[in-house]
Structure 1
Amino acid sequence: MRTDGLLTLMQWLSPGFPLGTFGYSHGLEQAVADGGITSADDLRDWLRAVLTDGTGRNDAILLAEGYRSDDPTQIDTLARALAPSRERLLETTAQGESFCSTVNAVWGTDLPPLSLPVAVGAAARGQDIPLEPALQAYLHAFAAGLVSAAQRAMPLGQTQAQRVLAEITPLCQSMAATALTQTLDDLGSSAFMAEIAAMRHETLQPRIFRS
């Protein structure tokens, strides 16, 4: 991959890119409030489940299909239908629309409003960025965003947080490699506790995050 492609991925998926990622916890805030996540080990286990059996897995497949498709809006329709709760739908669509708007303005593209994984896949294809590093970067950014949310929702020091993220990184790499061979037929989720937490979060008060 060209150096400029790597740097573009780093820019798109950095905390400084205007997606509002800091405002979403993906149901983690509810899991913390319920006492299901109280330690770094709990957080690592929760992240592994969400990545391998929940949104992470599905997002990787949707990103890859968005990359391959000549019409990513068709993949986007499915991505929206797969959102298991109102706030999960808001999370992927609001961030995706912000992503498309910024990429269009800065890189001169013409992406329609898309859910986030489909948007990243379509944008990476448009910039001739290889699919596998795009998948790796997306999954790592997803995990990093949740670790950052955990630091604000529970007692978790900076060193502990970075240790958790480092332990999750090899999983992001292996999942990216697997997603290269998967199709829409492989979509599915069994991270039930995370999904229920996301649904219950809609009525959590007080709360910090939008999801």
Structure 2
Amino acid sequence: MPTDSAPVADLALLGLLQLVSPALPIGAFAWSQGLESAFELGWVTNEAELGQWLDGVLDDGLSRCELPLLARLQLAWANADAEAIANWNDWLHATRETAELSDEDVRLGSALIRLLTSLELLPAPALMPDEPGYVTVFSWVAHRRNVPVRQTLLGFAWAWLENQLAVACKAMPLGHTAAQRLTERLRPQLVMAVDNALEKEDHELGPVIPGLALGSALHETQYSRLFRS
């Protein structure tokens, strides 16, 4: 028998699927988050090396930065805590080591705000920080659609993995079957990353991914490229 909460849960799930869909018109396909540099520099040349790269970024990047930040921001939205939202948004900007990574966060955030404007889903103006990043706006939509925090993190991690594999299929190139093999191998890692993120204390936050930062910096002057980061 269905429960009273079933329609809400169903709508939340559908809202999350819409938010993490590659069809969401915010231009996420244009960014590689440093992965294109890893190909160009010869750091990642095959399926196995790509799996190791993604595993490392997930463990030392997302699980220490974007994922725990999403949990904190979603709570701040729920509490209508404008100061906390602004502080965590500023903190995220400060962790972006290169101009491209910072630009990506701001541009995707702006694109998502434009979409939310057309859908009449924006929060109260007093709650929105100056120059909100993608993670900040993503967390607002998750809160607005009653997505549980854990599912918000899983959805974000899933969208990141899909984007990275799409980049590899275009630029490496990686075959689609190989991409599915990596998806199958890394799905448990996404769950572990969310578990780790939810256990992090504030003083433990911050990405430790110098290779990605260096690759991103070198990408700014890369002669030929398909992606904006």
TM-score, length-scaled by structure 2: 0.87
What is the identity, as a one-letter code, of the residue corresponding to 1:166? E
Match of 2:61 in 1: 54
Q: Distance in 1 between matches of 2:66 and 2:57?
A: 11
Name whichever of 29-38 and 111-120 sits farther off: 111-120
Residues 67 and 153, structure 2, Cα contact 8 Å, conserved in 1: yes
- Displacement of 1:192 in angstroms is 1.4
Aligned residue among 131, 134, 138 for 1:116: 134
Match of 1:95 in 2: 108
Match of 1:13 in 2: 20
Aligned residue among 177, 198, 210 for 1:159: 177
- Displacement of 1:179 in angstroms is 2.1
Residues 62 and 193, structure 2, Cα contact 8 Å, conserved in 1: no
How many residues of Structure 1 are paired with residues of Structure 2 in the alignment?
211
Aligned-pair Cα RMSD in Å: 1.6
Aligned residue among 95, 98, 102 for 1:85: 98
Q: Distance in 1 between matches of 2:208 and 2:35?
A: 16
1:53-202 alignment to 2 at 5 Å? 53-55=60-62, 57-69=64-76, 70-71=81-82, 72-110=85-123, 112=128, 113-202=131-220
Name whichever of 17-26 and 174-183 sits farther off: 174-183
Q: Distance in 1 between matches of 2:53 and 2:63?
A: 12
Runs (4+) of structure 1 exceeding 3 A deviation are none
Name whichever of 88-97 and 172-181 sits farther off: 172-181
Identity rate of aligned residues, in percent?
A: 27
- Displacement of 1:126 in angstroms is 2.2
What is the identity, as a one-letter code, of the residue corresponding to 2:103? L
Q: Distance in 2 between matches of 1:103 and 1:184?
A: 30
Match of 1:36 in 2: 43
Structure 2's unaligned 5+ residue stretches are: 1-7
What is the identity, as a one-letter code, of the residue corresponding to 1:176? V
Residues 64 and 180, structure 1, Cα contact 8 Å, conserved in 2: yes
Q: Distance in 2 between matches of 1:186 and 1:39?
A: 32
- Displacement of 1:181 in angstroms is 2.8
Per-residue CA distance 1:48-96 (angstroms, 9 max, x = gap): 1111102453110111111111222221111111100000001111112
Q: Distance in 2 between matches of 1:103 and 1:142?
A: 20
Residues 66 and 119, structure 1, Cα contact 8 Å, conserved in 2: no
Please say which structure displays the higher CA radius of gyration: 2
1:198-209 alignment to 2 at 5 Å? 198-209=216-227
TM-score, length-scaled by structure 1: 0.94
What is the identity, as a one-letter code, of the residue corresponding to 1:209? F
Q: Distance in 1 between matches of 2:195 and 2:60?
A: 16
Q: Distance in 2 between matches of 1:13 and 1:22?
A: 12
Residues 65 and 183, structure 1, Cα contact 8 Å, conserved in 2: no
